Amino acid sequence: MPSARPEAPRSHRKGQYSCEFCRARKLRCDRPLPCTNCVSRGKKCHFGPLPGQRPSTLADHQLPGQHQQQHQQQQHEQQPVTAPLVSPSLRRLAADLERRVALSTSTSTAHQDEHHPSPSPRTHIDVGQSGSPSSSESPRLDQVKDVVAHLERVSMVQSSREPPIYVDDLVFQFERIRDIPGAPSFTVRNGKPARCVWLPFHNETRFILDKFITNVSYIHHVVHHPSLPATIDDLYRKIENQEPIEPGHLVLLLGIIANTVEVWSWHDEVEGDGSIFQSAIEANAQTPLWIKSAMDVIKSGENGPPLALETIQGIIILAFAVSNTEGVSLRYRSLISTGLLLSRELGLHRIDHESNAATANTIRAEEGRRVWWYLVATDW
């Protein structure tokens, strides 16, 4: 009699023909492992719990990223909330950082103080309970505060609050315009070298100003012609009397001279009758000289160009001469950008706002409009 066929081992999935996800969602399960429904939805596919494992829940069918994010959120909620504490070591590090900044910005003071040398960058600083350095470091902290205040003034372009350029900062001298290229750029005043700004004689400047108004200024339309002679005369009077001058007036004058000599032609030779330049070539050759002189005056202020409408007018006129000699160079783009920046600081872009209705019909306001629209059209 043949032996009976051995009974096949029973599967642990007996009586369960769908995975847990398909059973929970009432879906038809095609029963591969994993099934098509779980693969398309990114779910875990299994048929019943493994030995020693809890039954599956809805959280088991979430995406791995969602489950991990929920777990981290639960851990964060369980952690006790504590107030931030500032340790004494952190205070010492902050004080040491302030001292290093002070040392890097006051090297000249350290060289002068030979009897009390400053501590090395690794020297420990005693910090009290309040977290502030000892009184011996207070002078250096004051220097840091001065540096911070200076940087804030520079970043906010608050040059309008700075005093004007005085004759102690720049030395002004007059010479015949034909002889200025051979004049020295620096002179000695009070035993120290000082930047020398050479200007033509008053009568030569008035002659150049007439040429500018007649032949050049119509291209820009940024200055008020009737008031220009009085402005230049007042500048010469203050320089001769060694009075404080408006730096913007000086930038405007140097820009006018640079632009005028750059476009000097043989027609001006006949009209000038040789009293200013012998030839147009001689006049054109002085253009780089006057451009450099104007740029030196613009950069002479510690906090950048002085904030005045005349400064922007001079920058526009100077940029015209630079573009004719160099093209759209880096210096030309820098001048236009500087003019736009100063114009915004002066509020020229809001000159027709209702808050300025009281001054909307003045000559000053019209000059501001022309300056702003010239710069905007140039930088378009």
* Over residues 184-204, mean pLDDT: 85
* pLDDT for the residue numbered 316: 94
* pLDDT for the residue numbered 194: 78
Cα–Cα distances in angstroms (integers) from residue 31 to residues 88, 91, 304, 316, in the given order: 65, 65, 79, 81
Q: Where do the domains of the chain lie?
A: 16-45, 170-378
Peptide linkage before 305 cis (omega within 30 of 0): no
* pLDDT for the residue numbered 33: 74
Among candidate residues 37, 59, 48, the one with its CA nearest the CA of residue 14: 48
Continuous H helices in 212-246: 228-240
Pick the CATH number of 16-45 from 1.10.1740, 1.10.3470, 4.10.240, 3.40.50: 4.10.240
CA-angle at 283, arms to 271 and 273, nearest 5°: 25
Task: Tell me the pLDDT band of 274, cut-offs 50, 70 and 90.
Answer: low
Instruction: Give the residue, 194 or 114, on which the prediction is more confident.
Output: 194
pLDDT at 228 over 70: yes
Number of residues written out for the chain: 380
β-pair type (192-200, 170-175) = parallel
* pLDDT for the residue numbered 249: 92
Global confidence as pTM: 0.55
* pLDDT for the residue numbered 70: 52
CA distance 24 to 19: 9
Task: Tell me the pLDDT band of 317, cut-offs 50, 70 and 90.
Answer: very high
Q: Contact, 200 vs 211, CB < 8 A?
A: no
* pLDDT for the residue numbered 43: 83
Instruction: Give the residue, 354 or 270, on which the prediction is more confident.
Output: 354
* Over residues 288-307, mean pLDDT: 76
Q: Contact, 376 vs 347, CB < 8 A?
A: no
Q: Contact, 254 vs 318, CB < 8 A?
A: yes
Average model confidence (pLDDT) across the chain: 74
Instruction: Give the residue, 136 or 217, on which the prediction is more confident.
Output: 217
* Over residues 199-213, mean pLDDT: 93
CA distance 158 to 380: 27
Range in 112-126, 141-155, 354-368 with the lowest mean pLDDT: 112-126
Q: Which residue has the tokens 């977290």?
A: 131
Q: Which of the given ranges, 23-27, 114-118, 230-234, has the highest pLDDT on average?
A: 230-234
Helix (H, G, I), strand (E, B) or coil at 61: helix
* pLDDT for the residue numbered 159: 42
* pLDDT for the residue numbered 237: 94
Neighbour tally for 59: CB within 10 Å: 10
pLDDT at 15 over 70: no
Range in 83-92, 93-102, 157-166 with the lowest mean pLDDT: 157-166
Task: Tell me the pLDDT band of 143, cut-offs 50, 70 and 90.
Answer: confident
